[in-house]
Amino acid sequence: MTNELARRAGPAALLLALLACTWSCSSLQRRGPAAPAGDAPAGTAPQPSQPEPAPAPQPDGGAKTEAVVQARAPLEPFSVTLPGGLVEIEMLPVPGGTYLTAQGAREIEPFFLARTETTWDAFDVLVFRLDLPQEERQGDVDGLTRPTKPYISVDRGFGHAGYPALSMSLQGAQAFCDWLSEETGRRFRLPTVLEHDWASRAMSQTPYGCGPIEALPEHAWFRDNSQRKTHPVGEKRPNPWGFHDLHGNVAEWALTPDGGALVMGGAFSDPDTKLAAGSAREPSAAWNASDPQVPKSVWWLADANFVGFRIACDPQGDN
C-alpha cells in the first residue's frame, strides 16, 4: 500500500516529506528533553520566590522595640543662607509616617532636618554678630538675645571650621533657632525626641540607620574610632535619608512632650551601643560644674564637650 502511494505521489512529494522529517528531528534536538512538571523551561530565567515577611525588630543593646510600618512621600529639600551670607545650611525632608513604639503607634508629620549638625561656622554668626555691619557688632544694637561670647576656647582644640559646635546649652541651641526664624520668616526649631529617633533609623529595622551595628564605623564617630574628639561634619557616610552623624560625633538636643529636653544619638566619647536610635541622656548640673561664673552661664556647658544640636524646620504653611 505504501509503495503504491509513493509511486502515485511522485518524486516531488517524497522530497517534501523527507525535508519535513529532517526539520522536525532537528527542532527536537535543539529543545532538548521536556522539563519535569513544576520546573521552569530550559533556557528561561527562574522566577523569584516571594520574599518572606520581615521579622519584627528585637531589642538591641537595651533600645526599645520599634518598627516602621509606613512612610509617606517626602517634601523637597532646600538650603538656607544665614544672615551675612557666610554660611549655608542644607535642609533635607524627613517623610512622615506611622511609627510603632513600645507605647503604641505614633503619627509623625513630614518635616525638615539639617543634613548635618550645626557647625561653629554657623553658630559664630550669631555669637559674634557676623550678620551685622562691622560698626554694629559691639553691644546690643539689634536687640536680639544672643549667647555671650565665650571666655575660653570652647572648641576644646578639637577643630573649628567645619566642626560641630559643642558645649551647647539648650538655651543656646534654642536661641539659634529663634534668631534664624526671625531672620528668614520660617519656623526653625529643635526636633522632638520622636522625630530624632525616626530620622536616625530611616526605615531601618535595627536601632541604627546603617543597619547592623557592624556597619557603624563607616557611619559614625564613637569611642572606638574618634580618638576621643569630634570630627568635621559629614565625613562619615550618610544614612538612607541623607543625614550625617545622627549617630555619634556630638549628641544632639531634642525636645520632650512635657517641654523638657534630652540629648540624643550618643557622642564621640560613647561606646557603639550608646549610639542606638532612641538612646537619650538627661541633662545634668554636672555638665556645667566647673564654670567659675556666678551665676553659671546659661549659654555654655563647661563640662559637656559632647553636646551639640541640629536644627529642624516645619514645612511652609505650618509656621
Q: What is the pLDDT of residue 45?
A: 31
Q: What is the pLDDT along the chain (319 residues), one digit of tens a residue?
A: 434 433 444 443 333 343 343 433 333 333 344 333 333 333 333 333 333 333 333 333 334 434 444 555 558 999 999 988 889 999 999 999 998 888 889 999 999 999 999 999 999 999 988 877 776 766 655 556 788 877 667 899 999 999 999 999 999 999 999 999 999 999 999 999 999 999 999 999 999 999 999 999 999 999 999 999 999 999 999 999 999 999 999 999 999 999 999 999 999 999 999 999 989 999 999 999 998 877 788 999 999 999 999 999 999 765 5
Q: What is the pLDDT of residue 318?
A: 58
Long-range contacts of 156-163 (CB under 8 A, 24+ apart): 156/229, 156/305, 158/229, 158/230, 158/305, 159/229, 159/230, 159/231, 159/232, 160/120, 161/119, 161/120, 161/121, 162/119, 162/120, 162/121, 162/232, 162/233, 163/119, 163/120, 163/230, 163/231, 163/232, 163/233
Q: What is the pLDDT of residue 133?
A: 74
**Which pTM does this prediction carry?**
0.75
The answer to whether the beta carbons of residues 77 and 100 sit under 8 Å apart is no
Domain boundaries, the chain: 2-31, 67-313
Q: What is the pLDDT of residue 282?
A: 97
H/E run at residue 69:
strand 67-71
Q: Is the bond into 164 cis (omega within 30 degrees of 0)?
A: no
Strand order in the sheet with 280-281: 280-281, 261-264, 251-255, 307-308
* Per CATH, domain 67-313 is 3.10.150.10: no
SS3 sequence, 176-230? Answer: HHHHHHHHHCCCEECCEHHHHHHHHHCCCCCCCCCCCHHHHHHCCCCCCCCCCCC
Q: What is the pLDDT of residue 102?
A: 80
